[in-house]
Amino acid sequence: MTGKQRMLQTLRFEEPDRPPHFEVMFELEYEAFGLRFPDRNSWAGISRAEKDAKIGQCMEIYERIVERYQWDALLVFWPWSDADGVKAAKRTFGDDILIGTVVGGTTWAIEGVSDWMQFSLDLVERPEALHEEARRKTEVAIAKFNELAEAEPDFIHVVNDIAFNAGPFIAPDQIRELIIPYLTEQVAHIRSLGIIPFIHTDGNIMPFLDDYIGTGAACYQSVDPQAGMDIAVVKQRAQGKMALMGNVQCSLLQDGPQEAIRQSALYCLEHATPGGGYIFGTSNTIFPGMPLEHYEYMLSVYREFCARLARRAPL
């Protein structure tokens, strides 16, 4: 079974030979391979030849990541939200793995608010202005989806952080009014292009979880345990409606110890794998400063689980 087949099967809520795995970003390329992705600020204003060379650097690193860690999918994060990067990945990997790209800032979100005082006032006094901006964001997002569709990605990951650890960044009713309808429209447009929609937020979204599931996205990535998101509970609510990805606690991958990493990984695998609809991964990304050995230890736990699953041994 190829990685792409494994991903598609689990997204259909069927049980593949093992739960698929990949990460949204992997930024320990120097620690793992002695190589560096091009600086994220170095892409603007470069020539076609320079861009092709940088994309080639990225593909060399992506190939090594996918081979060493046996990823079943790749989100092309450098170059960010770029059709040329997707085309290069499709040429590099063919149909072996699922290939995707990322689009951020498509709704009101924590990272998009620069003046919190004005935003708070507008929520009460000028909600129509916030809706106007939400409509503008959606129109920009749809134009970007259309642009990326030309490269034929398998999936588009739409990223907007709309919750803190303590709960949503605005009241749940305001989430339902100001964010969910626009995100739902964006998801529907991605599907209309023949592309699989993934969505991301960190934080505790339990107060509006059913609304988030109701956007129609194929997969929700993060399922943030540091915010109290219990994947066993979320799985019960989402099964058959939206696949889940993540939930291995990133703070444990940062600080350890190994036994805590093991327990977090096994909790995800044991509660989310049955019935398909689960992609194994961290609750965020493999970020700079995370000890590489902690990620590799997490994967050793995953491989042990998959071996037991293949033998149908008790977990």
* Residue 30 maps to a domain: yes
Residue range of the domain that includes 220: 3-307
* Residue 260 maps to a domain: yes
User: What does the pLDDT look like over 263-293, one tens digit per residue?
Assistant: 999 999 999 999 999 999 999 999 999 999 9
Return the pLDDT at 312. 79
Partnered with residue 74 across adjacent β-strands are 99
pLDDT band at 314 (very low <50, low <70, confident <90, very high): very low
For the whole prediction, is pTM greater than 0.95?
yes
User: What does the pLDDT look like over 1-41, one tens digit per residue?
Assistant: 999 999 999 999 999 999 999 999 999 999 999 999 999 99
* Residue 120 maps to a domain: yes
* Residue 180 maps to a domain: yes
* Residue 314 maps to a domain: no
Q: Pick the closest to residue 165 from 262, 251, 280 (CA basis).
A: 251
Angle at 85 (CA atoms; ends 79, 87), nearest 5 degrees: 170
Cβ neighbours for 85, distance < 8 A, ≥ 6 positions apart: 55, 58, 76, 78, 79, 101
User: What does the pLDDT look like over 294-312, one tens digit per residue?
Assistant: 999 999 999 999 999 998 7
> For residue 54, is pLDDT > 90?
yes
User: What does the pLDDT look like over 57-109, one tens digit per residue?
Assistant: 999 999 999 999 999 999 999 999 999 999 999 999 999 999 999 999 999 99
* Residue 213 maps to a domain: yes
User: What does the pLDDT look like over 211-247, one tens digit per residue?
Assistant: 999 999 999 999 999 999 999 999 999 999 999 999 9
* Residue 201 maps to a domain: yes
* Residue 134 maps to a domain: yes
How many domains does the structure of the chain reveal?
1
CATH number at 134 reads 3.20.20.210
Distances (CA, A) of 162 to 64, 106, 155, 168, 298: 33, 11, 21, 6, 27
Among positive and negative, which fits the CA dihedral 32, 34, 37, 39? positive
